[in-house]
Amino acid sequence: MNKTIVITGGSKGIGKSIALKFAQENFDIYTCSRNQDDLLKLKNELNSLNPNITLYTLKCDLSKKVGCNDFINFINDNVKKIDILVNNVGTFIPGKLIEEDDSALEKMIDINLYSNYWITKGLINLMTKYREGHIFNICSIASKVAYANGGSYCISKFALYGMSQCLREELKDFDVKVTAVLPGAVRTGSWDGTTLPDERFIIPEDVSNSIFSAYNTSKGATIEEIIIRPQLGDI
């Protein structure tokens, strides 16, 4: 019987890379996206990669609590146990705090923090009752280092990192591991059009491979955080 990984926002970028990595390792995958076409493309790609696993998808918008509840219900209706939860969904709106639109903080808190908060609370019972599981929260180097034009994005990612630390303390007694993942600039579609060379970036596989390695630690060990930055420094 295959193990199960749940990935929010798994159709593109880091989320897709994680799905591909764990499909190779014979995990059944549950994920969601706002774009049904992206989910169909992912399904076709995973079927070609490993026909022995199953991808389950739901079109929903995790920026809204109703969308989070739809995904939570979808998972709870179809899964008895979660081995890995990856809270990957997030967004970036550049701007300075003193200049950005008043809605910027609310939008990024909704997506970068609240969505991950609701999903975790809604699914955690599928780990704690078995006293086993691993949560990976995709934070950012901006969770520790504020930077110009980061504004509310930095605030939201600092908050997600704080949530990771709280979960780590609360869940250790249930033998559920929690790892905060803090990547620097990753070469995904959000950087399309940049004039910077690809070697100035992390690639998504750097993140997915690191997550798989952290998952494979012994029962008595936890890698609490993973920091990955471009070799030549942050962008």
Where do the structural domains in the chain lie, given as residue ranges? Answer: 3-228
Interval 35-51: pLDDT, tens? 999 999 999 999 999 99
pLDDT of residue 148: 85
Cα–Cα distance measured from residue 199 to residue 197, given in angstroms and rounded to the nearest whole number: 5
211, with CB counted inside 10 A (0-12, 13-18, 19+), is buried
CB under 8 Å to 60, separation ≥6 — which residues? 32, 34, 67, 68, 70, 71, 74
Interval 49-84: pLDDT, tens? 999 999 999 999 999 999 999 999 999 999 999 999
Q: What is the mean pLDDT of the chain?
A: 96
pLDDT of residue 141: 95
**Do the Cβ atoms of 71 and 119 come closer than 8 Å?**
yes
pLDDT band at 189 (very low <50, low <70, confident <90, very high): confident
pLDDT of residue 147: 85
pLDDT higher than threshold 90 for residue 184:
yes
pLDDT band at 23 (very low <50, low <70, confident <90, very high): very high
pLDDT of residue 191: 82
**Do the Cβ atoms of 179 and 84 come closer than 8 Å?**
no
pLDDT of residue 194: 87
- Class assignment of domain 3-228? alpha beta
pLDDT band at 193 (very low <50, low <70, confident <90, very high): confident
Is the whole-model pTM more than 0.85? yes
Task: Give mean pLDDT, residues 4-25.
Answer: 97
103, with CB counted inside 10 A (0-12, 13-18, 19+), is exposed
**Do the Cβ atoms of 173 and 180 come closer than 8 Å?**
no
Pairing of strands 3-7, 84-87: parallel
| Listed residue (42, 163, 36, 27) closest to 83, CA to CA | 27
CB under 8 Å to 103, separation ≥6 — which residues? none
pLDDT > 90: what percent of the chain?
90
